[in-house]
Amino acid sequence: MIWWAVPAVYLAFFVVLVYRYHRRLPHLSAYPPRAAGPLVSVIIPARDEAANIEACVRSVLATAYQPIEVIVVDDAAAASGCCAATSCRRAGSVNRGR
């Protein structure tokens, strides 16, 4: 067997794999983004993440999808992320509870 046959087979397989990947249908870009639909619950664990929780909650609330519920689970270990999450309050979107 010629020394380059094995790498050539691998290269041919890779080329076919990439070609088939780009030819498969449907593409995600074929679907328009939805702005409404069923309620989506986002659960964010907040163990000792008081410094990052506000940015995380704000990024979730900034989505175009409207029926969204954000649940921040805080076990109150060392730092309190509940105050940071409450500061992101959108009309009824963040509820404080223990």
Q: How large is the average pLDDT for residues 10-25?
A: 91
Residue 41 has pLDDT above 80, yes or no: yes
Confidence of residue 91 (pLDDT cuts 50, 70, 90): very low
Q: How far is CA 17 from CA 12, 20, 21, 56, 92, in A?
A: 9, 5, 6, 37, 49
How does pLDDT run across 24-40, given as a tens digit for each residue?
A: 888 778 888 888 889 99
Paired tokens of 10: 């691998």
Name the residue with tokens 């900034």. Answer: 62
